[in-house]
Structure 1
């Protein structure tokens, strides 16, 4: 339910995205700030939520008889509160740092949306400190959940051949979404600021804002 709600919220970027593609007026004012904060909050939440879901799959396959005891409503509620709360804190820190960068009147954003890497690029000062902060939190919110997901499915695969088949049948769709979502995020957020072209960055944005929510 949380993933469904999250992806419905994620796609709220699409109307403005279509306006910027086809409309004559491509101006966005206060909405850009709101979009930046909400966008980062939702993205961070999905990173952590997919990791929590992998733990759920692991428990369902490897500890089936104890599943209802381990994954109880109280634990689910605590995990959901933690995921949304920590992600909100991350969004507040990173987006505030990004918005405080001076732009010296440069307000033309070469992107489909008010996304953090694109907004950092138009700053007229040295942005290494902000980029390092993004990289550090990217490790926490992208690489760490991905590592936990791989460990979960590694245990499932090592359990038995039957366990491997169960993993493919039960969690194949989850693994597909994880591959697309984390792969594009790593390419966009965990590289040096000038290492990727603007067109590539815009292209990969479509994956984790439109394609992944649609698949979910």
Structure 2
């Protein structure tokens, strides 16, 4: 038991993204700017949806949950990376690493499921507009959200408990800027071939099955749009879907790149690039995409700005 404590409960070392060079310091400042943009953009989206009555619909309720997930996602990884870089200390405790792993995996899984459910919401709105408030009422939206959060949390808890129960040894250096699953895998001493297969199956469930639902929903939407006679109706339908399609492409594309590749084909640099994209870049772009391309959100923002200027 003492050996297990020594090899498994000691601190880990996060290699991070940057060194002490001036060019990396500039990259660090850029990441900080992106981080602040992500925090302010997602916080603003949540605020707009909460205070604007016209946005109190299932579609925007799901969007507020997406923004909350993105806000929590960047807050799970970037602050610790920032503290380590500024202080010069790269360590993270065993429990800190386990907590970070649980949070990022929960939020990533929840976002995969939520984006699929949002595609169903678009399908109902376009293909069954008269029944929208029946099929997608507030109760259904809340149930979807609760199911999304709980399913992802349970999946993450199981994977975190299993991964952190393996013996860790060697240098204990994580070649990453946070405790991501593929990076922590490389520090395990024992045989994890069976568990790797389990992770791969879990990735299929959380990535490919939602993608199938998204493709099915948009296939039905496309079929319905083709049958529309009005050009205005067609353009309106495409406008409702375009923002979501962009976000879906960015998120699932990065997720497949990071988790569906065989371990033998992974490199630390590729893992870092993929993680930066879906843990920093995508949460920053999501509110910008929805705000700039969504007329209702843009109107709500202008309304609040006018109200503040008047007062």
TM-score by length of 1: 0.94
Alignment partner, residue 133 of structure 1: 198
1:167 is displaced (CA, Å) by 4.3
CA–CA distance in 2 between the matches of 1:99 and 1:86? 20
> What CA distance in whole angstroms lies between the structure 2 residues aligned with 1:26 and 1:146?
37
Gaps of 5+ in 1: none
Distance 2:223 2:87 in 1: 53
Kept after mapping to 2: 8 A contact 1:94/1:133? no
Q: Answer yes or no: is 1:70 the counterpart of 2:70.
A: no
Distance verdict in 2 for CA 1:155–1:26, change over 3 Å: same
The reply on whether 1:25 has 2:89 as its aligned counterpart is yes
Q: Does the CA contact (< 8 Å) of 2:105 and 2:156 recur in 1?
A: yes
Query: Separation in 2 of the partners of 1:97 and 1:184?
Result: 25
Q: Secondary structure at the match of 2:189?
A: coil
Tell me by how many angstroms 1:177 deviates.
1.2
2:260 and 2:86 map into 1 onto residues whose CA distance is: 31
User: Given that residues 254 and 274 in structure 2 are in contact (C-alpha distance below 8 angstroms), is that contact kept between their aligned partners in structure 1?
Assistant: yes
- Contact 1:121–1:193 (Cα < 8 Å) also in 2: no
- Structure 2 equivalent of residue 182 of structure 1: 252
Give the C-alpha shift of residue 37 in structure 1.
0.6
Q: CA deviation at 1:23?
A: 4.2
Runs of 4+ with >6 A deviation: none
- Whether the aligned pair in 2 keeps the contact of 1:157 and 1:164 (CA below 8 Å) is no
Q: Note if 1:11 corresponds to 2:11.
A: no
Q: CA RMSD in A?
A: 1.6
CA distance in 1, matches of 2:204, 2:171: 30
SS, match of residue 270 in structure 2: helix
> Please, which runs of 5 or more residues in structure 2 have no aligned partner?
1-63, 287-311
Change (3 A) 1:185 1:102: same
Select which of 139, 151, 158 maps to 2:223. 158
**Which region of structure 1 is more displaced relative to structure 2, 127-136 or 15-24?**
15-24
| Rg comparison, structure with higher value | 2
Higher mean displacement: 1-10 or 121-130: 121-130
